[in-house]
Each structure stands twice: as C-alpha cells, then as structure tokens.
Amino acid sequence: MHVLSSRLCRPLLSALAVATLALPAAFAEGLAGSTATPLTASRSVLELPPSPGNARNSEGAFMALKGGRTLFVYSHFVGDDNDDHAKAVLASRISSDDGDTWSGDTVIATPGEDKAMNVMSVSLLRLGNGDIGLFYCLRNSWHDLRMQLRRSSDEGRTWGDPVMCMHASEYYVVNNDRVIRLSSGRLLIPAALHRKIADANVPESLDWRGIASFFLSDDDGRTWREAPMACTLPSPHTRAGLQEPGVTEMANGVLWGYARTDLGRQWEFFSSDGGETWTVPQPSRFSSPVSPLSMKRLPGSNNLLAIWNPIPNYQTRPLVKPSGDRTPLVGAIGTGTTDATWGPTFLVDRNDVDHEGYCYTAIHFTGKSVLLAYCAGGKADKHRLNRLRIRKVDLSAFTAFAPTAK
C-alpha cells in the first residue's frame, strides 16, 4: 500500500525465508494454505478491474446507511500510473440489497487533492452524534502523509470541512478500514510512523522500519492527540519494523494490536487502558509474509473474524507475479490470542491459474452475511493491487469453523 514498492520489498524475502524455517512446531496451525477448506455460500458480487485511464482500483471501506442501504468508498486511481503515490480520487458506490448489486461511481471531491500527490486509504465510521465519519490519508509529499476526517450529517450526500488527525508533518501510514470506536466511545487510529532520514522528497528519504503509533479522540473526532506510547519491533534483523498496524477491541475490553513484519509473522501488542500504553510486541499466532491482517468482532458475539495471507504449510512454492506471496487469502474464527482459542482455517480466495494476489481486506457485516472487499489483481490486471473485488459470504458458512472448547 503506502509502504514499500516491489523493488524495495525484494531484499526482505531472504529474511522472511529464514524466519519461516525457524518457526516452531507449536505454530503449525497458523501455517495455512493448500489444506484450508474452501468456504461455502461465498461469491464475488463486484469486480472493479483496471481500465485505460483508471490504472488501479483498491483499498476501500463500508458503512451501513440509515434505511438499509450500504455505502462503499474506495481508492479510484486516475491516469495510467498504479503506484501508491499516483493520482487517485475517492469514489463511492451504493447497494440497496445487502451488497448483491451496486450503483456506479460517485466521486467525493477532497479538499487539497489537486495539489497533493495522492489521496487514499479510506475508513468509514458511524460517529457518536449520528454523523458518518470519512477518514482518508492525504499524501502531500514523502515527508507528509496524514489522515484527515470529514463528517456527513446527511448519510454521505455532502461532506464537511476536513479535520487533521495528526498535527505534525510526518509520514504516517494508515491502512483502509482501520479506524475504530472503542466501547468507551473513544476513537482510535493505528498508524505506522516512518521517520525522515534525509531531506530529498523521494522514498529513499524515509526509514521504512515502521513505528506503531496511535491517535486518540475523546470528543467524537473533533480534536486528536497522539498516545504517549508507541511500539517498535524489538529485533535488529528487520527492514520493515511494525508496518500497517491494526487494532481490535476484544470482548474483555483489552485492545489487541497487530502489524505486519518481515519476520514471518504478524506481531502483536496489547493495551488495557484504551490505547494509552502498550505491551512489548511479540510474535502472534498468525504466520504471514509482509502483508496486512484484518480482524473484526462478529456482531453479537465474542468471536473474532480474521482474514490474512498465511505462510503455506508446504515448501518450494514459486513466487509467481503478480500474486507473489499474497496468496492464498484465508480466514479463521477465534476468541483469543492462542491457537487453542481458534477454529480451523478456511480458504477465502485463491486462483493459481491467473496468479491473483489478495490483500487490504475491508470487513462489513450485513445481517446474515459479511462483505469482504480486497485487492485481487491477476495476470490480466498486471499487478495484484490493481483489481478490487467484493465477496459476499453467508454468516452460516462460518458455523463449521467456529472454535471448540479445548
């Protein structure tokens, strides 16, 4: 996403391979891939491939509108450049039937986008006063990438002036569908800070070892502050650090943070005070290449739904472009942080013929189903980030994968 280009990611593969071989047997259940059972009652309901003048359609987020409709906003790139810093607009679509069919695009004009390098990475959140919050990242330079918030009091027809969520001009990476509201009402934005190490306005002027940082609002998004504590990866053998962090509030109120790394796993960290302070990061149960994890609580349940790219439990798999190591896309249902609290892994998507790659999943529950929006580019799309897919899964399909008491 905002982080490393494929050119800059290649040196990470050797470190990832070493970390993978060193994984203990106790983590075997986290190594899913060829043996994962495909989901039933699962189908693609929207495909947004690239086209001339629209090189990429990617990362989005959902919102349930009043009256039963569903809003989806995503990054619609304009022109023939698909790089993260290429020109893009925020485009919205509406569904009136729980995601089975969708309207055409409506562009949401963003203040400052004409002078910015890029706008992308949407989160949507119902705010405390009933407004819809539209969060997005505005990239002004390689030294200034920050999240802004605009509010809508008319269900997304119009949007107010932007509020800056990060006050200092720094390079903060926030993934799509990452902003959350805690049970206390506090809003939390997980971000990866990439420090400036040179003055030139080029990618090489940044330290790509991410520092997991957290921005908090206790007045419904009107003002923001940075949490007093950040997290770094406690290892000298990393070039990624903690990138693209996410946070999920567990049933007991503890915040479970996680971030992608180049050490073969998602690493995790926890907060028991609403995101003010965090534990020292450690390896999680989720094996993973340098690709993000998405996780949300199922409505009315203590169960969590996790979607991610695993490190498959077979060796010598070729890394074929454009999928690379971001295939297959799998999921699991669980309640805690150990393998014993999770059910078996299931297959969400995989296509070894077109070599599709999957990442940046947005999760949205709609009564009896869940909508998953993710990048799914294959050979015809030229890059794994260029195609956007929305998949609809009946919640009943997860019954067979629920964790059992152990």
Q: Is the pLDDT of residue 363 over 60?
A: yes
Give 376-382's long-range contacts (Cβ < 8 A, gap of 24+): 376/349, 377/50, 377/322, 378/322, 378/323, 378/351, 378/354, 379/322, 379/354, 379/355, 380/49, 380/354, 381/49, 381/50, 381/322, 382/50, 382/82, 382/322
Q: Name the β-bridge partners of 126.
A: 132
Instruction: Report pLDDT for 171.
Output: 98
- Show Cβ contacts of residue 388 under 8 Å, excluding neighbours closer than 6 positions: 46, 47, 48, 57, 58, 60, 74, 373, 374, 375, 376
Report DSSP state, residue 400. Answer: G
Instruction: Report pLDDT for 347.
Output: 96
Instruction: Report pLDDT for 114.
Output: 86
- For range 204-233, the mean pLDDT: 98
Instruction: Report pLDDT for 308.
Output: 97
Residue 192: exposed, middle, or buried by beta-carbon count in 10 A (0-12, 13-18, 19+)? buried
Q: What percent of the chain has pLDDT over 70?
A: 90
Instruction: Report pLDDT for 240.
Output: 98
Alpha-carbon distance 148 to 310, whole Å?
A: 32
Instruction: Enumerate domains of the chain plus CATH numbers.
Output: 6-52+168-401 (2.120.10)
Identify the three-state secondary structure at position 180.
strand
Alpha-carbon distance 161 to 336, whole Å?
A: 40
Report DSSP state, residue 54. Answer: B
Q: What pLDDT band is residue 31 in, cutting at 50, 70 and 90? A: very low
| Whether the Cβ atoms of residue 12 and residue 239 lie closer than 8 Å to each other | yes
If you write DSSP's letter for every residue of 238-259 in order, what string do you get? -SSBSEEEEEEE-TTS-EEEEE
pTM here is 0.92
Instruction: Report pLDDT for 18.
Output: 37
| Whether the Cβ atoms of residue 362 and residue 62 lie closer than 8 Å to each other | yes
Neighbours of 185 (CB within 10 A): 13
Tokens (6 digits) for 146: 């920050």
- Show Cβ contacts of residue 297 under 8 Å, excluding neighbours closer than 6 positions: 248, 249, 250, 251, 303, 304, 305
How many C-alpha atoms does 278 have within 13 Å on its Cβ side?
25
How many degrees, rounded to 5, is the angle at CA 183 between CA 180 and CA 186?
55
- Show Cβ contacts of residue 18 under 8 Å, excluding neighbours closer than 6 positions: none
Instruction: Report pLDDT for 13.
Output: 40
Identify the three-state secondary structure at position 58.
strand
Alpha-carbon distance 207 to 156, whole Å?
A: 37
Of the candidates 38, 45, 98, 44, the residue with the CA atom closest to the CA atom of residue 400: 38
Tokens (6 digits) for 289: 């290449």
* CA-to-CA dists, residue 390 to 49, 129, 172, angstroms: 12, 29, 27
Instruction: Report pLDDT for 34.
Output: 58
Identify the three-state secondary structure at position 14.
helix
* CA-to-CA dists, residue 267 to 31, 138, 161, 308, angstroms: 15, 27, 36, 13
Alpha-carbon distance 239 to 194, whole Å?
A: 12
- For range 43-64, the mean pLDDT: 98
What pLDDT, in 10s, does the model give residues 133-188?
Answer: 999 999 999 999 999 999 999 999 999 999 999 999 999 999 999 999 999 999 99
What pLDDT, in 10s, does the model give residues 241-298?
Answer: 999 999 999 999 999 999 999 999 999 999 999 999 999 999 999 999 999 999 999 9
How many degrees, rounded to 5, is the angle at CA 14 between CA 245 and CA 331?
45
Alpha-carbon distance 299 to 304, whole Å?
A: 9
Average pLDDT, the chain: 91
Q: What pLDDT band is residue 12 in, cutting at 50, 70 and 90? A: very low
Instruction: Name residue 142's amino acid.
Output: W
The DSSP bridge pattern shows strands 304-308 and 294-297 to be antiparallel
